[in-house]
Structure 1
Amino acid sequence: MPRLRDMAAEIALALQFLSRIPVGGAAPYTPERWARIPCWFGLVGLGLGGVAAALLWTGAQVFPQPVAVILTLGLMLLLTGALHEDGLADAADGMGGGRTPDRALEIMRDSRIGSYGVLALVVALGLQTVCLALLPLPWAMGALVLAHAFSRAIMALALGQGRYLRPRGAGTGLDRPLGARGLALTGAALLAAIGFGVALALPVGAILVALSISSVASAVWLRFARNKIAGDTGDTLGAAQVIAATACLIGVVAWV
């Protein structure tokens, strides 16, 4: 029973961290539980992807699919508090405007958004909208689940490499190796997301292309950011999530 309570609290903490969904007293904090929440990122992403797919299906029953896509993306931004998109904007400003690592980190700490941040958000959200609008509705639903689960798994794997820079920040205390348990849970989330996509007639080839493009895009981004500032921050990891999710949707469209 104590172990089950720990697991429930870890899941609630992960959900609280990655979304605005209220969990009330279900997420009592301890440093040990907090350190283990990346193990659940993939499964939380799977759940968020399921919510996005349900929203898209519901919207498409009333509106043309492009309108349903925009409404779905907007509602998901509210549900997640635009956590990762904020990271993308800050990281783009820091990488674009910072000539030195210290200056890049200083810019990323600034709450104001600059031109690089605006452009990054427009491009990312624009690509997501176009990709989902171009796909058949069942494929779009499957792609959403895949993108949400895989992109959160990317964050967990990146944190597990122990390159988090800030002594205080969103990822503080989370940068520990996932271990066998964490890798198993992350793998289970990805397998479930793949199974959901296959159940919605998403071709296996499209899934493999999507995961490949997403893996490469997020790896290139993380390598670039780490070369620039010698590590990770909450902003660069949030940007990795948006990049991975967007690249995943692009991969599915590339198969069409």
Structure 2
Amino acid sequence: MSHLKLFLLALSFYTRLPGMAEVSQAVGNRCDHLPHPQALDFKQLPYAAVYLPLIGWLVGGVAALSFYLADLVWPQTTAVILALIAGILMTGALHEDGFADVCDGFGGGMNKQRILEIMKDSHTGVYGFLGLLLLLLLKISVLSAIPAAAVPLILMAGHSISRLSPLLLMQRYEYARGNDSKASGAVYKPNLRELAFAAAAALLPLALLPTLSVLAIIPVLLATLVLGHYFYRRIDGYTGDCLGASQQVAETVFYLSVSALWIFI
């Protein structure tokens, strides 16, 4: 599958951009070797995950623009909330849903089987609701305390860097659902070349921030390692919800880290 096909596949799944089908159709019409949107093979979706940091550029860019425009009219906290809403609308709350499911599963399940059963349930429980609420409040609090001029660039970097975390988990651990009928589509380990590409794409927006901000990568990587080990200890690997949760945790840790480093900038 070509790189452009995989990118279109990632774009169509990880975002909710209106008109994406028409764009893919137009591209397909101009290139006979490209699929029409209805022919996109979603079994190849795990292979498209290498483009997650690029999706982060897009989502972060929309969130950054939303913040910049809103900050011209309303208080910074209001602008932050609107930027978060824009990001959520862009992704259809895909990663937030995974985080809530992980909170429910690991909060209410006492063994692997029960954890997986709870995470598969479409309903959101108390753990999921409170976890997501506190996560959003933490993002709002931290981003509201950072100088407004820096927030758009931090949003760009946060959305991009945090999307490297799912790839690191996929490379290090196994899919936890074993012989689940859907597991075959999720079992994929990025190779070193793909990880290098994703890492370069994820870290590039940091070039727009003060040099000291690079140190924020360390807590993000540590948080990803700790989370991956926790998942492995409880369910012997990861699920799609775990990948979404890792993105949310990494994004929040990045904001916290940059905020702490900003004292010295």
Could you state the TM-score of these two structures normalised by the residue count of structure 2? 0.85
Checking the alignment, whether the CA contact within 8 Å between 1:162 and 1:176 is kept in structure 2 is: no
Change (3 A) 1:96 1:8: same
Checking the alignment, whether the CA contact within 8 Å between 2:157 and 2:203 is kept in structure 1 is: no
Instruction: Choose which of 202, 216, 227 in structure 1 pairs with 2:233.
Output: 227
Checking the alignment, whether the CA contact within 8 Å between 2:9 and 2:42 is kept in structure 1 is: no
Change (3 A) 1:181 1:29: farther
Q: Tell me the secondary structure at the aligned position of residue 74 of structure 2.
A: coil
Identity %: 35
CA distance in structure 2 between the partners assigned to 1:35 and 1:247 by the alignment: 25
Q: How many residues align?
A: 245
Aligned-pair distance for 1:29?
2.1
Q: Superposition pairs for residues 98-109 of structure 1, below 5 Å?
A: 98-109=109-120
Instruction: Choose which of 186, 190, 201 in structure 1 pairs with 2:202.
Output: 190
Checking the alignment, whether the CA contact within 8 Å between 1:35 and 1:176 is kept in structure 2 is: yes
Instruction: Choose which of 162, 175, 181 in structure 2 pairs with 1:164.
Output: 175
Aligned-pair distance for 1:90?
0.8
Checking the alignment, whether the CA contact within 8 Å between 1:159 and 1:174 is kept in structure 2 is: no
Aligned-pair distance for 1:20?
1.0
Q: Which has the larger radius of gyration?
A: 2
Change (3 A) 1:194 1:174: farther
Q: Superposition pairs for residues 73-88 of structure 1, below 5 Å?
A: 73-88=84-99
Change (3 A) 1:151 1:136: same
Change (3 A) 1:224 1:188: same
Q: Superposition pairs for residues 1-256 of structure 1, below 5 Å?
A: 6-22=2-18, 23-24=20-21, 26=24, 27=37, 28-30=39-41, 33-166=44-177, 167-168=180-181, 173-196=185-208, 198=209, 203-208=210-215, 210-255=216-261, 256=263
Show structure 1 runs of 4+ deviating over 4 A.
Answer: none
Checking the alignment, whether the CA contact within 8 Å between 1:39 and 1:186 is kept in structure 2 is: yes
The one-letter code sitting in structure 2 at the alignment partner of 1:220 is V
Checking the alignment, whether the CA contact within 8 Å between 1:36 and 1:174 is kept in structure 2 is: no
Could you state the TM-score of these two structures normalised by the residue count of structure 1? 0.88
Checking the alignment, whether the CA contact within 8 Å between 1:162 and 1:175 is kept in structure 2 is: no
The one-letter code sitting in structure 2 at the alignment partner of 1:7 is H
CA distance in structure 2 between the partners assigned to 1:31 and 1:123 by the alignment: 33
RMSD: 2.0
Residue segments in structure 1 that go unaligned for 5+ positions in a row = none
